[in-house]
Structure 1
């Protein structure tokens, strides 16, 4: 009953969400038994593989190092998962853009039903997953011999990044499928933490009125060591780039502290942040839905409250 975890990485280091997926794999192993292996597929990814070998609970790391895996294209990675699937009963990946891209394609090639975005392991073949933007939970039972699953990272506490001593084994490439090619990418450079791994997040919504006003949030983020996020309304309005978006169609986060500024609290946004440990909302509309999930709420004009918050933080 071996379990294979598809690791998210940048060829140099493992992304933190992989630790959450390994935690889900450990929960499955507790029900079904078996070892946990991690697949690191990339180009010049030896450093990432070495880091994966140190993860607590990992018995083996499979390293597929080839140029065709450098961009993590699903068209190339999915056949690799199919090639390796014979030795595994479970293949897990994070519910991220990469995981949601690769796992369904691999499931289709294996002719099995993929299970997406699980938040709990009930039994070896039974899992809980949120539906309707998190407003309901579905318990699903799979009869497939091989189970391909994406994992909601925020639902599982990360395992330790250190403490393991897994062997690293080279696996051959499945080749370039020739169905797509990587042309380029434009990345937002920032010294702040990445949204999905940040301990503190401050997000702005349509109430910010313009992209220039997000500078207020950025100054507070710098004082708190926080990441800056946004609602879909703010992204659609062009205030900030797409990679700031928190929500059902953006990034799902669960920081220790989430500060929502000028965000009404539409279901789409709540689905991406309501698992945060402490939620603080600042909004001038006391009827805003965000206050229904907030631990602390301030009914105030953000253009007065945020500068006051910044002034208080400067004194600390």
Structure 2
């Protein structure tokens, strides 16, 4: 393997269809801020090509590949990451802050006795090394973490880093040899695998999110959120109050006990803005709030606020967007 200056190892999340996850461009862009992006694609041999091509297009200078059977067990991917880490000797390891990513990051950090920083919203390099930046306590504070020695393993919140690396037409693709660790795994029985098909973007990592809250009043009225989301090609979110009321299923919940999002645009409809909700969306680049109560806390974090009846305002916004498409 050729020598790269300041290599940064990135784990590429691979979807069941073999495509690279939307987090790929962000992770490689973040790696480019720190050094030379080196990507690992650990996936079944017959479905890895698209992910490899995506990693190259996103700017990885070197893509390591290894065959990993498709399944819910993380140990084979951790084995691959450990082999890649020892081969590359990176300055930092970047992994998506997804459920699977956090699992792999924690296991790798334990195996190699490395510092672990989770849910970073940005990364940087200073005179002393790699620094991870975090938004904590519902976005009230920005904190920084860095290891006193060794390589940091950092999970990055999706949608928070705008930097993108240039594509790497001269990128190398190499096969990585991985020896199974034989580490114990928890084995369960998959009763049924459910895949929900949707034409809308996935909530975690979406560039635009439209969320609804208790102010919508009913499950039927939640269609207003869907109408606006369709016009903006947005993912759909919700406050905990809307989920608890049965307006929409839990996977759409944004907040401290749900999904954390950092889209370019976040539209909050009928959401009061309790701190638990703000904790999951306050790092959005632009926040638009629609609420009839001018004293709602959501206006404290909104870049643009509309004080009015959402049942009047939202249809007008939808009609205006549709009119612009004609």
TM interval, short-chain normalised: 0.7 to 0.9
Q: Report SS of the residue matched to 1:4.
A: strand
Distance verdict in 2 for CA 1:303–1:65, change over 3 Å: same
Unmatched 5+ residue regions in structure 2?
1-5
| Secondary structure, aligned partner of 1:36 | strand
How many Å apart are 1:191 and its aligned residue? 0.7
SS of alignment partner, residue 294 of structure 2 = coil
- Please give the TM-score of this superposition, normalised by the length of structure 1: 0.87
Which TM-score applies when normalising by structure 2? 0.84
**Residue 274 of structure 2 is aligned to residue 266 of structure 1:** yes
In structure 2, the partner of 1:9 is 14
Q: Using the alignment, how far apart are the partners of 1:249 and 1:172 within structure 2?
A: 39
In the other structure, the counterpart of 1:255 is 263
Deviation, structure 1 residue 7:
0.8
Indicate conservation of the 8 Å contact 1:195/1:201, yes or no.
yes
Residue of structure 2 in register with 1:110 after alignment = 112
Is 1:127 the equivalent of 2:132? yes
**Which residue number in structure 1 is paired with residue 56 of structure 2?**
53
Aligned match of 1:75: 75
Aligned length in residues:
308
* Shift of residue 225, structure 1, vs aligned partner: 2.1
Q: Matched residues in 2 for 1:239 and 1:187: separation?
A: 21
1:37, distance to aligned residue in structure 2 (A): 0.9
Q: Please state whether the residue corresponding to 1:92 is helix, strand or coil.
A: strand
Matched, 1:148 2:144: no
SS at match of 1:114: strand
Q: Distance in 1 between matches of 2:134 and 2:72?
A: 26
Please list, as runs of the form range in 1=range in 2, the aligned pairs for 1:84-233 lying within 5 A after superposition: 84-87=84-87, 88-89=89-90, 90-118=92-120, 119-123=122-126, 124-160=129-165, 162-175=167-180, 177=183, 178-181=185-188, 183=190, 184-233=192-241
Quick check: 2:29–2:165 contact (8 Å CA) kept in 1? no
Structure 1 residue 103, shift from structure 2 partner: 0.3
Q: How far off its partner does 1:76 sit?
A: 3.0
Contact 2:292 2:310 in 1 (8 A): yes
Measure how far apart 1:291 and its partner are: 0.5
Task: Flag the 1:310–1:24 CA change in 2: closer, same or farther, 3 A.
Answer: closer
Q: Distance in 2 between matches of 1:280 and 1:166?
A: 41
